[in-house]
Amino acid sequence: MDSVPGRFSALPPGERVAALRRIIAGLSPYEAAIARRELLAARGPLAFDVVGCLPRELACMVFGLLDPLSLSACAQVNWHWRGCCAEKSVVGEVVRRAALSRRLPEAPGGAREQLRRLLECEWRWAGSRPAMRKETWVFSGTAALAAGHGWAAASFGQRLQAWSTAGGDAVQRLDVYSVAQKSLAICPSGAALAAASYLRTAAVYSLADGAEQFSLRREAGGFEQADILGEHLALWERGNTVNIYEWTQRRHSARLALGAVAVHRIALCSRDWLAVVSAGWSIHFFRVADGSPAFAVEANADMDAAAIGRHDSDPVRIKAAMYHPTVARIALYNSAAWVTLDVDMRAQRARNVVLRHAGPGARILDAHFDHMLVAVDDGALGGHIVRRDAAGQEHRVHFGRPKGLAAISPRRAAIGTAVLSDDAVLGASSMGRLVLMRFAG
């Protein structure tokens, strides 16, 4: 037997591979397990490629769950991983997951070109190198901000303005008279902007030409929040009332049968579903067609209420989108905590519930499904703002130092509030300084 290894070592390389194949083919399951264990012991546990041992279909399913940056890193491990990462189904799934809260432009190269743009955007975020930066002064307190889907909007003083961020520079497309806007919402298609005021008015404006497409006025009370998706406009009115309108047809569609549900925030998930957040971080789903209640889920069923930090002065906010025809992706947050979860609309239950905290000396300004914007008080003048992902990795957002007269009062000119989209951020200071940055190329 001692001569067997010697004779094997003396074989030419090609014959050694053929001999190994014949030996492996003749091994019993028990002998194969021993050979595998000895190989691992000889070469170390890190030499074993778990993904490489999976069937290609399962490996592709695993890679399809990654974010764009993780997929790019995995593609550089070895040739087998690179081949799986380059599969059309994997690239398409990663792009689809990343497109939940962003409006991806159509690209001639399809999903692969969209993935390249996503990676470029993430690299710009990591290096705080925006592709576009615009700073303006309004010299008035900012009432509401919105960003996303290729647009940014701000209400300040008696003006409501919106800028297109899709091109090489921020181009103002909307500038109208507006007072006391409390809520702004950009349609996912990028075609319209909804605005709701606590002074009894709500309106929808076309972002193509700035024309008012729909308006509503209440003789008493006002509006707390507006959300828009497609032809549907949802308005949360004072007095715990939520109405749905088909704004393109200029008609009332439904009124939610809220019952004892106390509204904290609303979000249109799709043309069929509307989500309402109530006390205790409970999410109630209503049918858009007739306003009837469907079911409710608890976002914090297994969490300590004190850890979430909920109280009336810090209401929870919500972002929602349909990840799948039967699965809604939900992000809930207040200044202290951020919760993401999936809601199975068929089983009527929550799954993949993950809680993340802002941390000591920090407060959440805005959050989406995979990122949040956090203001950190580090003792410096005005502190600083970071973009934090689901894994806890942070990238500082540099809004730049105030110049000119604003340098006289740098604390008031420092950015104190901001809203986030996946490729842009819009920040405002108490002095009326607005800074818009886009990180997509």
- Domain of 234, in residue numbers: 132-438
Can you say how many angstroms the Cα of residue 176 is from the centroid of all Cα atoms in its chain?
A: 29
DSSP state of 90: H
Question: Is residue 179 one of the residues assigned to a domain?
Answer: yes
Residues 237 and 342 in one domain: yes
Contact yes or no for 272/242 (Cβ under 8 A): no
Q: What CATH number is attached to the domain comprising 65?
A: 1.20.1280.50
Mean pLDDT lowest for which of 29-43, 51-65, 317-331?
29-43
Query: DSSP 3-state assignment of 85?
Result: helix
Q: What CATH number is attached to the domain comprising 370?
A: 2.130.10.10
The total number of structural domains that make up the chain: 2
Contact yes or no for 342/352 (Cβ under 8 A): yes
Question: Which of 106, 123, 140 is the last residue in one of the domains?
Answer: 123
Residues 101 and 157 in one domain: no
What amino acid occupies position 305? Answer: A
Residues 206 and 76 in one domain: no
The answer on pLDDT for 250 being more than 90 is yes
Count of CB atoms situated within 10 Å of the CB of 158: 11
CA–CA separation, 60 and 80 (whole Å) = 11
CA–CA separation, 302 and 248 (whole Å) = 42
Question: Is residue 13 one of the residues assigned to a domain?
Answer: no
pLDDT over 90 for what percent of the chain?
Answer: 30
Question: Which of 60, 88, 123 is the last residue in one of the domains?
Answer: 123
Residues 348 and 399 in one domain: yes
Q: Would you place residue 1 in the very low, low, confident or very high pLDDT band (cuts 50, 70, 90)?
A: very low
Residues 160 and 276 in one domain: yes
Residues 306 and 209 in one domain: yes
Q: What is the pLDDT of residue 48?
A: 64
Residues 251 and 369 in one domain: yes
The answer on pLDDT for 310 being more than 70 is no
The mean per-residue pLDDT over the stretch 50-62 comes to: 83
Mean pLDDT lowest for which of 115-124, 156-165, 272-281?
115-124
CA–CA separation, 133 and 24 (whole Å) = 62
Residues 92 and 173 in one domain: no
423-427 CB contacts, 8 Å cutoff, 24+ apart: 423/102, 423/121, 423/165, 424/147, 424/148, 424/152, 424/165, 425/147, 425/373, 425/387, 425/397, 426/145, 426/146, 426/147, 426/152, 426/154, 427/385, 427/397, 427/399
Cα of first residue to Cα of last residue in the chain, in angstroms, is: 65
Count of CB atoms situated within 10 Å of the CB of 102: 20
Residues 44 and 185 in one domain: no
Q: What is the pLDDT of residue 109?
A: 60
Residues 90 and 230 in one domain: no
Angle among Cα 275, 276, 281 to the nearest 5 degrees reads: 110
Question: Is residue 225 one of the residues assigned to a domain?
Answer: yes
246 conformational bin, left if phi > 0, alpha if psi -120 to 50, beta if neither: beta
Residues 109 and 138 in one domain: no
Residues 377 and 246 in one domain: yes
**H helices present in 324-391, as ranges:** none
Burial group, residue 239, by CB count within 10 angstroms (0-12, 13-18, 19+)? exposed
The mean per-residue pLDDT over the stretch 252-276 comes to: 93
Show Cβ contacts of residue 408 under 8 Å, excluding neighbours closer than 6 positions: none
Q: What is the pLDDT of residues 186-231, one digit of tens each?
A: 998 889 999 999 888 999 999 988 899 999 998 777 899 999 999 9
Q: What is the pLDDT of residue 423?
A: 83
Q: What is the pLDDT of residues 318-367, one digit of tens each?
A: 998 887 788 999 999 999 999 999 999 999 999 889 899 898 889 999 99
pLDDT mean across residues, the chain: 83
Question: Is residue 199 one of the residues assigned to a domain?
Answer: yes
CA–CA separation, 294 and 347 (whole Å) = 12
Question: Is residue 1 one of the residues assigned to a domain?
Answer: no
Question: Is residue 165 one of the residues assigned to a domain?
Answer: yes
Residues in the chain: 441
Query: DSSP 3-state assignment of 93?
Result: helix
pLDDT over 70 for what percent of the chain?
Answer: 87
Task: For 382-406, give the secondary structure using H, E and C.
Answer: CCEEEEEECCCCEEEECCCCCCHHH
DSSP state of 270: S
Question: Which of 123, 157, 179 is the last residue in one of the domains?
Answer: 123
Question: Is residue 9 one of the residues assigned to a domain?
Answer: no
DSSP state of 266: E
Q: What is the pLDDT of residues 93-149, one digit of tens each?
A: 888 777 654 544 555 566 777 778 778 888 888 888 888 888 888 877 778 999 988
Residues pairing with 397 in the sheet:
385
Say which residue the tokens 């008031």 belong to.
412
The mean per-residue pLDDT over the stretch 34-56 comes to: 70
- 418 phi and psi angles, rounded to 5 deg: -160, 155
Question: Is residue 11 one of the residues assigned to a domain?
Answer: no
